[in-house]
Homo-oligomer: A and B are copies of this chain.
Amino acid sequence: MAHKEDIQERLKKIQNEICSALENIDGKARFIEDKWIREEGGGGISRIIQDGKVFEKGGVNFSTVYGPIPEFLKKELEGKSKSNQFLATGLSIVIHPQSPMVPIIHMNVRYFEIDDKIKWVGGGIDLTPHFVNVIDASYFHTEIKKLCDTFSLEYYPAFSKNADDYFFIKHRNETRGIGGIFFDKLMESPDCSMDKLLEFITALAKVFVPIYMHLVEKNKNTPFNEREKKWQLIRRGRYVEFNLIYDRGTKFGLETNGRVESILISLPKMASWLYDFIPEKNSKEEKTLAYLKKGINWAQ
């Protein structure tokens, strides 16, 4: 099977598995599905969960778009191919839980193709706890590192640095969360075939369920109070700032007239901005801020 068909089949299957797992653990809400068609070619399957017992709002989106190469990509690709057609397919997830004790998670994998020679993969996974818990942060990074290491020992060090740099709210001088991995435009090389790269992004998409389920199970029944809820809403405000100001996927989607409701599914049901809110000294909130920095070595 051609790479593009192969990866689409896999991602659609994983979309089903992820939605089932999330519904199972939620126990109340079910995903709704919206299929959409892109005028210039392709479309997608958006799955949305709202107002669950565990998950307040989340999206698990699959899409494949193709057609004439969009204007903003032409320059980069000039002279590299005779083809004027592109194809991009991917799976993208953002989950906002009800409880401030359960972290927000984001995962995305994508495959891009112009012709037989120009093909690349990209993706990432990152965790945004409202309160940073050292054990959970270490678990998350260690599991991701384990997966990376089975493909290349160079992946985790490079990709976790990318994530720190990418998931960074410049005007706040803080990271969005505790990072994870982020990579883009991985192309095949003598050392690594496209088949292997597809294996890597498939493995990443598959590891989402066990990793996030562990963190959800562990924290979903932890009691919380109003102060913790208030902090959650503030952190979600920062998430909104990142996604609307810096996130390339959001920008790309909005600038190319993508389906707005699928793109902005990453925004939380409720978010808050308080003027110059400064956490109390030595509070959990202040400690969390101290962890929202680049370069922390969480993996074991």
Contact = CB atoms under 8 A, between A and B. Distances in A.
Interface in A235-293: 237, 240-241, 244-245, 254, 257, 260-261, 264-265, 267-276
Given A254-B245, A260-B172, A265 B271 contact: no
Contacts of A270: 233, 270-272
A271 B269 contact: no
Given A172-B260, A271-B270, A276 B34 contact: yes
A57 interface: yes
A275 B265 contact: yes
A269 B265 contact: no
A52 to B, nearest CB: 13
A75 interface: no
Given A254-B245, A270-B271, A261 B276 contact: yes
Interface string A46-80: 00101000000101000000000000000000000
Count of this chain's copies in the oligomeric assembly: 2
A13 interface: no
Which of A170, A257, A269 has the largest number of chain B CB atoms within 10 A? Answer: A269
A241 B275 CA distance: 18
A227 interface: no
Nearest to A245: B244
A178 B244 CA distance: 23
Interface string A182-198: 00000000000000000
Given A241-B244, A245-B244, A271 B274 contact: no
A171 interface: yes
Given A254-B171, A270-B233, A261 B275 contact: yes
Nearest to A240: B240
The 6 closest A-B pairs by CB, nearest first: A244-B244, A267-B273, A261-B276, A171-B254, A48-B275, A270-B272
5 contacts: A34-B276, A171-B254, A233-B270, A245-B254, A269-B274
